[in-house]
């Protein structure tokens, strides 16, 4: 880094950030960030403003004081020197004949703006004076461009004809050059205004607080204006591409003709800065802007930008609908409320909170008779009315949960065992009873255990439930018990089954119990499985 090697001895430039880059074109911008920027700008306004201004510090000081900047001659001189060092000013020497030493010095110190210094000054001032608002897009230029390109083509025709015969008229070439310059500067202007417009749109659309009329305004701006631009671009683009294609075919002629113009050559032999449109590359770039042959075309970019802006507009609209347009006023309300809270005592603050937010929970007493009692009427005092049943745990311990240790969790395995065992006992008892019946065979007059008797009654009940009219011989086989009960209707028979606790007489049937063959076969298998 070139620090201090530059011999900068001014105290104001000793701060590190001021001498980071020196001896380059960056220096040209230095005056803008200086604490004395306003004075520098005023001074440059004098020296770079009008054409060919050239002032001595004394003259400059006088002119500046007219504009409200009161600087001494020495101060102006110091400023001028600084600007000279940065490259914004150039010391001009004019041959004067001085009568005094002082006058001689003054005469030698005249300043005027350098080329780049003047340009920076003009650009800076145009940015400084630009408005924050939208800039109109120079869309009329598109039509003009088509016309100019046509005119270039017709001039080329004329010149080509003339070329065949006599020498080229210098006047026509000049007009051609003028057209070319206009085409390119129009294009630049159009480009700049479009990018300004979209930059502005983006800046606006990223704001969250667009409401009401403001929003309306932007919506119209977007919908109509973007529409216009896009339509214009779409309309003129094909014509422009067509003309550019024709010119491209005669590019050599065009460039040769333009080259015949008087050129400015610097003292060291290098060519001076040219106007745009004098090289094939520039024409190619222009064509590419419209056709998109080098990446994305200008019209496409514009359309994409329009889409993006519309999308953002939708997002904003959505947000606005969600906020119901109350965002701003609610903000004011809340700040006002904060002030009230700050000045109120606790109780008022609680009430303000409840009133402003309205977000308090309902509050109710708990417990009451499940069914409203009718004993106590509306004129009964609470002192006399029947009290509510408060759980003892709540009254005694302030607790409604069950107290004490948790009881052991019963082992389901044991319970299952017990259930299985009882089921086994039951089936065994029934099998024993059925075996008893099977052994008896004809049940009339049989003396059996009460369990066997009950089994007969059960089975008979089931049988009667299924066959309600006993017209023929029925048999009911219970494979579980391995018994078949046969019922033979016989109106004259009375079957008497006696047991230790009494006898049962069944009229109109005779009953027989026989072993069930299938079950007998199955049982060994079952036993083997068990």
Partner 1 sequence: MSPSVTSAHEAVERRLAARALLANPILSGLHHPDQLALVRRHAPWLRQMYFSRTGYSLIIETGFARLSKAPLDADTAPRPALRTTGQPFTSRTYTCLALLCSALLAPAVGDQVLLSALVEQVRADAASADLRLSESTDEARHLVQALHLLIDWGALHETEGTVVAWGLRADEVLLDVNRPLLPHLLARTLRDIDTPATLLTPKLTSANQDEPRRALRRKLIENPLVRREDLSDAERDVLSRERTELTRVLDEDFGLVLEVRAEGALAYDPDDDVTDLTFPGRSTVAHAALLLTNALIDDLSPKAGQIVTLPVATEEASDDGFPKETPPTRPGALAPWSTVEANVELLIERYGPYFGEGYRTNASLLLNDTVRLLESMSLAEGTETGLLIHPAIARYRPEPQRLPTRAARRMGSTIDDNSSPLWFEEKP
Q: Which of residues 192-251 bind partner 1 (CB under 8 A)?
A: 207-209
Tell which positions 305-334 bind partner 1, by CB under 8 A. 319, 322-324, 326-334
Alpha helices in 166-261 (DSSP H): 170-205, 212-220, 227-249, 251-259
Q: Are 466 and 490 in contact (CB under 8 A)?
A: no
Tell which positions 41-100 bind partner 1, by CB under 8 A. none
Among 20, 130, 199, 355, binds partner 1 (CB under 8 A): 355
Window contacting partner 1 (CB under 8 A); options: 6-14, 35-43, 231-239, 372-380: 372-380
Nearer to partner 1, 166 or 332 (CB): 332
Nearer to partner 1, 99 or 372 (CB): 372
Nearer to partner 1, 380 or 462 (CB): 380
112, 143, 160, 179, 253 from 259: Cα distances, Å: 32, 27, 15, 15, 10
The first and second tokens of residue 205, run together, are 């659309």
Nearer to partner 1, 24 or 381 (CB): 381
Task: Give the DSSP letter of residue 265.
Answer: B
What is the smallest separation between the CB atom of 322 and partner 1, expressed in angstroms? 5
6, 49, 126, 130 from 86: Cα distances, Å: 12, 18, 21, 26
Among 52, 99, 335, 466, binds partner 1 (CB under 8 A): 335
Sign of the Cα torsion 507, 508, 510, 516 reads negative
Tell which positions 271-310 bind partner 1, by CB under 8 A. none
d(CA 393, CA 387): 17
What is the smallest separation between the CB atom of 214 and partner 1, expressed in angstroms? 12
Among 364, 402, 469, 525, binds partner 1 (CB under 8 A): 364
Tell which positions 375-414 bind partner 1, by CB under 8 A. 376, 378-385, 387-388, 390, 394-401
Among 212, 238, 368, 450, binds partner 1 (CB under 8 A): 368
Vertex 481 angle, CA 477 and 462, to 5°: 50
Angle of helix 251-259 versus helix 280-291 axis, rounded to 10 = 140
What is the smallest separation between the CB atom of 512 and partner 1, expressed in angstroms? 51
Which residue's entry shows tokens 């048999």? 475
Tell which positions 95-124 bind partner 1, by CB under 8 A. none
Among 167, 213, 362, 407, binds partner 1 (CB under 8 A): 362
Among 29, 200, 225, 353, binds partner 1 (CB under 8 A): 353
DSSP bridge pairs for 510: 488
Among 17, 132, 370, 411, binds partner 1 (CB under 8 A): 370
Tell which positions 152-181 bind partner 1, by CB under 8 A. none
Nearer to partner 1, 127 or 365 (CB): 365
Among 365, 402, 414, 530, binds partner 1 (CB under 8 A): 365
User: For residue 107, which of 95, 89, 117, 115 has the smallest C-alpha distance?
Assistant: 95
What is the smallest separation between the CB atom of 395 and partner 1, expressed in angstroms? 6
Q: Which residues of 502-513 are buried (b: 16+ CB within 10 A; e: fewer)?
A: eeeebeebbbbb
d(CA 49, CA 45): 5
Nearer to partner 1, 25 or 397 (CB): 397
Nearer to partner 1, 382 or 410 (CB): 382
Nearer to partner 1, 323 or 429 (CB): 323
Q: Is 229 exposed, middle or buried (0-12, 13-18, 19+ CB in 10 A)?
A: buried
What is the smallest separation between the CB atom of 371 and partner 1, expressed in angstroms? 9
- The dihedrals phi and psi of 49, each to the nearest 5 degrees, come to -65, -80
What is the smallest separation between the CB atom of 202 and partner 1, expressed in angstroms? 16
DSSP bridge pairs for 498: 447, 503
Residue 450 touches partner 1, criterion: CB under 8 A: no
Nearer to partner 1, 323 or 474 (CB): 323
What is the smallest separation between the CB atom of 317 and partner 1, expressed in angstroms? 14
Q: How many residues bind partner 1 (CB under 8 A)?
A: 71
Q: Is 198 helix (H, G, I), strand (E, B) or coil?
A: helix
What is the smallest separation between the CB atom of 201 and partner 1, expressed in angstroms? 17
User: For residue 39, which of 60, 18, 56, 20 has the smallest C-alpha distance?
Assistant: 60
What is the smallest separation between the CB atom of 332 and partner 1, expressed in angstroms? 7
d(CA 100, CA 113): 27
Nearer to partner 1, 178 or 325 (CB): 325
Question: Which residues, at least 6 apart from 303, have a Cβ–Cβ distance to it below 8 Å?
Answer: 230, 233
Window contacting partner 1 (CB under 8 A); options: 9-17, 126-134, 338-346, 452-460: 338-346
Tell which positions 460-489 bind partner 1, by CB under 8 A. none
3-state secondary structure 96-135: CCCCCHHHHHHHHCEEEECHHHHHHHHHHHHHHHCCCCCC
Q: Which helix (H) or strand (E) holds 494?
A: strand 483-499
What is the smallest separation between the CB atom of 407 and partner 1, expressed in angstroms? 22
């Amino acid at each position: 880094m070139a620090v201090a090697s530059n011999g900068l001895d001014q105290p104001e430039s000793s701060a590190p950030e001021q001498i980071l880059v020196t001896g380059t074109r960056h220096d040209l911008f230095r005056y803008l960030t200086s604490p004395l920027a306003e004075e520098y700008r005023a001074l440059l306004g004098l020296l770079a403003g009008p054409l060919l201004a050239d002032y001595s510090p004394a003259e400059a000081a006088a002119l500046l004081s007219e504009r409200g900047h009161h600087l001494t001659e020495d101060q102006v001189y110091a400023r001028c020197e600084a600007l000279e060092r940065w490259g914004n000013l150039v010391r001009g020497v004019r041959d004067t004949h001085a009568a005094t030493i002082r006058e001689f010095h003054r005469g030698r110190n005249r300043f005027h703006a350098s080329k780049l210094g003047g340009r920076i000054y003009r650009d800076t001032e145009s940015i400084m004076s630009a408005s924050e608002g939208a800039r109109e897009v120079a869309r009329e230029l598109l039509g003009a461009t088509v016309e100019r390109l046509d005119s270039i083509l017709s001039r080329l025709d004329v010149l080509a004809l003339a070329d065949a015969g006599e020498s080229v008229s210098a006047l026509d070439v000049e007009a051609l050059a003028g057209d070319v310059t206009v085409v390119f500067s129009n294009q630049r202007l159009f480009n700049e205004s479009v990018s300004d417009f979209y930059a502005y749109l983006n800046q606006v659309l990223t704001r969250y607080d667009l409401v009401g009329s403001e929003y309306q305004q932007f919506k119209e701006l977007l919908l109509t204006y973007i529409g216009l631009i896009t339509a214009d671009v779409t309309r003129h683009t094909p014509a422009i591409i067509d003309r550019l294609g024709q010119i491209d075919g005669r590019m050599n002629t065009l460039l040769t003709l333009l080259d015949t113009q008087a050129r400015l050559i610097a003292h060291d032999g290098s060519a001076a800065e040219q106007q745009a449109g004098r090289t094939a590359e520039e024409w190619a770039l222009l064509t590419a802007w419209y056709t998109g042959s080098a990446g994305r075309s200008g019209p496409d970019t514009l359309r994409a930008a329009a889409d993006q802006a519309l999308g953002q507009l939708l997002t904003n609209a959505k947000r606005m609908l969600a906020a119901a347009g109350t965002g701003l006023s609610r903000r004011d309300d809340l700040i006002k409320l904060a002030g009230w809270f700050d000045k109120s005592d606790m109780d008022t603050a609680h009430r303000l909170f409840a009133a402003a937010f309205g977000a308090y929970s309902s509050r109710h007493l708990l417990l009451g008779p499940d069914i409203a009692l009718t004993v106590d009427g509306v004129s009964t005092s609470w002192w006399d009315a029947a009290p509510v049943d408060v759980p003892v745990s709540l009254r005694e311990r302030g607790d409604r949960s069950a107290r004490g240790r948790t009881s052991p969790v019963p082992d389901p395995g044991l319970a299952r065992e017990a259930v299985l065992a009882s089921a086994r006992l039951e089936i065994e008892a029934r099998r024993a009873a059925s075996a008893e019946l099977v052994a008896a065979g004809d049940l009339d007059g049989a003396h059996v255990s009460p369990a066997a008797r009950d089994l007969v009654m059960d089975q008979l009940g089931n049988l009667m439930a299924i066959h309600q009219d006993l017209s023929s011989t029925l048999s009911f086989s219970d494979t579980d018990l391995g018994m078949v009960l046969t019922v033979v209707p016989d109106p004259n028979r009375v079957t008497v089954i006696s047991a230790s606790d009494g006898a049962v007489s069944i009229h109109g049937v005779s009953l027989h119990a026989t072993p069930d063959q299938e079950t007998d076969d199955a049982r060994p298998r079952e036993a083997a499985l068990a």
